[in-house]
């Protein structure tokens, strides 16, 4: 049996615990300051991983799924593992900030991803972000909307944004998920000396799988302190998966958390994955409709010189068997293409011209009625205005 420390009820380190390493003693003391009851265990026969931390958690009787998350530092901040969507980072040097005010919106977006909940989240968090983060938020929202219109689901997009963060970067973004793994060896790769492995036991409903048999997984929103069962510190640069596996077996015996067997876990994960897929399928059409409506209203405001009467555009959409967003883009395009051709009586064709993409204009695209984007329409109006001014200068 392992040698268990004593005195876990107190914040101060007990005399019996002083045999353990200083970093672990400091970690346990910090955890106790957050009202967690933590204890240190010695690992019999270990040559490298000689100690671990157990956290006393509420016994609910509900069966759990075990996942692992690698962290790069061990202190009481591990009890505040937070999705990128609730973070703000001042890149001029200030520390990463956790924005508690958006917690309800982040949890809703993680659990029930919809365009409506994404907009609610974006509106709530915007005032807390730096200027650069606000610009990135707008870019991420635009890209996400584009991909949804092209057939992707919002959940897929949010998971994709989670992958982009590489797991350990102190960063912010729109994803309401945290990375984890069912395979402790994978999670271990994200640790370094001074960090360690979090052993996390939680209901399957708190997870978003890449697939029913994938080793990587996403945790919704936040890791609640009561979901962390144990911590395995990383000793220098050492990796001995046999010893780590022994530590985890010991954790299982000592904590007695009710866990699904591997075969059971695969079944229950598959069922949850199917539920998520069904939700996404139902939600996708609603999200597409909401995005089209929002963008159509934005175009109507931005291009007020073009007649985008809602009744007229809706009738055209029905007639052409398309949607009001596409019809609105075509009406704007046709308005300016016609005006461009009339400049100076030259019968120019806008399709013979191209425009620069982005602020820097590094890449160029042809004006094409079959591939209209909102950016193209802005560039089209600019091109028409520029050509009209030049024509006026030439004739004068």
**pLDDT per residue over 154-200, tens digit each?**
999 999 998 887 644 456 789 999 999 999 999 999 898 889 999 99
Q: What value does the mean pLDDT take over residues 11-22?
A: 59
200 contacts 67 by C-beta, under 8 angstroms: yes
Q: Which residues pair with 2 in a beta bridge?
A: none
Query: 115-125 and 262-302 helices cross at what angle (nearest 10)?
Result: 70
117: CB partners within 8 A, 6+ apart: 105, 108, 109
pLDDT band of 33, cuts 50, 70, 90: confident
pLDDT band of 95, cuts 50, 70, 90: low
Chain mean pLDDT for the chain: 89
- Report whether pLDDT(208) > 80: yes
Can you give the pLDDT at residue 92?
A: 45
Can you give the pLDDT at residue 359?
A: 66
Can you give the pLDDT at residue 345?
A: 80
Domain ranges of the chain: 22-263, 305-395
pLDDT band of 2, cuts 50, 70, 90: very low
- Report whether pLDDT(121) > 60: yes
Cβ atoms within 10 Å of 373's Cβ, excluding its own = 13
Residue with the bigger pLDDT between 80 and 1: it is 80
Can you give the pLDDT at residue 166?
A: 61
Can you give the pLDDT at residue 57?
A: 84
Q: Which residues pair with 41 in a beta bridge?
A: 4, 52
Of all residues in the chain, the percent with pLDDT exceeding 90 is 65
3-state secondary structure the chain: CCCECCCCCCCCCCHHHCCCCHHHHHHHHHHHHCCCCEEEEECCCCCCCCEEEEECCCCCCCCEEEEEEEECCCCHHHHHCECHHHEECCCCCCCCEECHHHHHHHHHHHHCCCHHHHHHHHHHHHHHCCHHHHHHHHHHHHHHHHHHHCCCCHHHHHHHHHHHCCCCCCCCCCCCEEEEECCHHHHHCCCCCCCEEEEEEECHHHEEECCCCCCEEEEECECCHHHEEEEEECCCCCCCHHHHHHHHHHHHHHHCCCECCHHHHHHHHHHHHHHHHHHHHHHHHHHHHHHHHHHHHHHHHHCCCCCCCHHHHHHHHHHHCCCHHHHHHHHHHHHHHHHHHHHHHCCCCHHHCEEECCCCCCCEEECCHHHCCHHHHHHHHHHHHHHHHHHHHHHC
The pTM for the full model equals 0.85
Q: Which residues pair with 98 in a beta bridge?
A: 87
pLDDT band of 241, cuts 50, 70, 90: very high
Please tell me the distance from the alpha carbon of residue 289 to that of residue 291, in angstroms, as a whole number: 6
243 contacts 47 by C-beta, under 8 angstroms: yes
Can you give the pLDDT at residue 13?
A: 46
pLDDT band of 115, cuts 50, 70, 90: very high
Can you give the pLDDT at residue 194?
A: 86
Instruction: Give the closest residue to 162 by CA, choosing from 146, 148, 180.
Output: 180
Instruction: Give the closest residue to 233 by CA, choosing from 12, 31, 10.
Output: 31
359: CB partners within 8 A, 6+ apart: none
Q: What value does the mean pLDDT take over residues 51-60?
A: 88
Can you give the pLDDT at residue 211?
A: 83
Q: What value does the mean pLDDT take over residues 107-134?
A: 95
Can you give the pLDDT at residue 11?
A: 45
Can you give the pLDDT at residue 15?
A: 45
Q: How do residues 341-387 score in pLDDT, each as one tens digit?
A: 999 888 889 999 999 886 666 789 999 999 999 999 999 999 999 99
- Report whether pLDDT(27) > 50: yes
Can you give the pLDDT at residue 213?
A: 83
Can you give the pLDDT at residue 362?
A: 72
Sign of the C-alpha dihedral, residues 136, 138, 144, 147?
A: negative
pLDDT band of 17, cuts 50, 70, 90: low
- Report whether pLDDT(96) > 90: no
Can you give the pLDDT at residue 19?
A: 72
């Amino acid at each position: 049996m392992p040698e268990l420390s004593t005195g876990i009820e107190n914040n101060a380190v007990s005399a019996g615990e002083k045999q353990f390493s200083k970093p672990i003693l400091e970690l346990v003391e910090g955890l106790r300051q957050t009202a967690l009851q933590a204890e240190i265990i010695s690992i019999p026969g270990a040559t490298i991983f000689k100690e671990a931390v157990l956290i006393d958690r509420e016994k609910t009787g509900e069966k759990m799924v075990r996942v692992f998350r690698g962290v790069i530092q061990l202190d009481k901040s591990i009890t505040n593992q937070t999705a990128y969507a609730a973070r703000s980072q001042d890149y001029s040097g200030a520390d990463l900030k956790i924005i508690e005010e958006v917690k309800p919106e982040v949890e809703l977006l993680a659990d029930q991803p919809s365009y409506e909940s994404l907009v609610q989240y974006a509106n709530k968090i915007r005032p807390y972000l730096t200027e650069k983060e606000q610009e990135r938020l707008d870019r991420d929202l635009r890209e996400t909307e584009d991909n949804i219109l092209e057939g992707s689901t919002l959940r897929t997009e949010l998971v994709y944004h989670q992958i982009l963060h590489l797991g350990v970067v102190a960063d912010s973004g729109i994803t309401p998920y945290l990375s984890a793994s069912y395979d402790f060896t994978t999670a271990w790769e994200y640790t370094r000396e001074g960090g360690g492995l979090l052993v996390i036991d939680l209901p399957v409903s708190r997870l978003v799988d890449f697939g029913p048999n994938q080793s990587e997984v996403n945790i919704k929103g936040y890791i609640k302190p009561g979901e962390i069962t144990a911590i395995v510190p990383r000793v220098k640069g050492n990796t001995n998966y046999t010893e780590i596996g022994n530590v985890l077996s010991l954790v299982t015996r000592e904590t007695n958390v009710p866990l699904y067997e591997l075969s059971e876990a695969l079944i229950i994960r598959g069922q949850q994955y199917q539920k998520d897929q069904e939700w996404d399928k139902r939600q996708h059409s609603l999200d597409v409709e909401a995005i089209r409506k929002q963008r159509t209203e934005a175009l109507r405001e931005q291009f007020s010189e073009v007649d985008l009467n809602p009744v007229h555009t809706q009738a055209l959409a029905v007639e052409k068997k398309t949607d009001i967003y596409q019809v609105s883009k075509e009406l704007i395009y046709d308005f300016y293409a016609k005006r461009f051709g009339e400049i100076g009586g030259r019968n120019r064709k806008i399709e013979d011209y191209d425009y620069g993409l982005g602020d820097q204009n590094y890449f160029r695209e042809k004006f094409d009625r079959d591939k209209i984007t909102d950016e193209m329409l802005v560039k089209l109006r600019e091109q028409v205005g520029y050509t009209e001014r030049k024509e006026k200068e030439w004739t004068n």
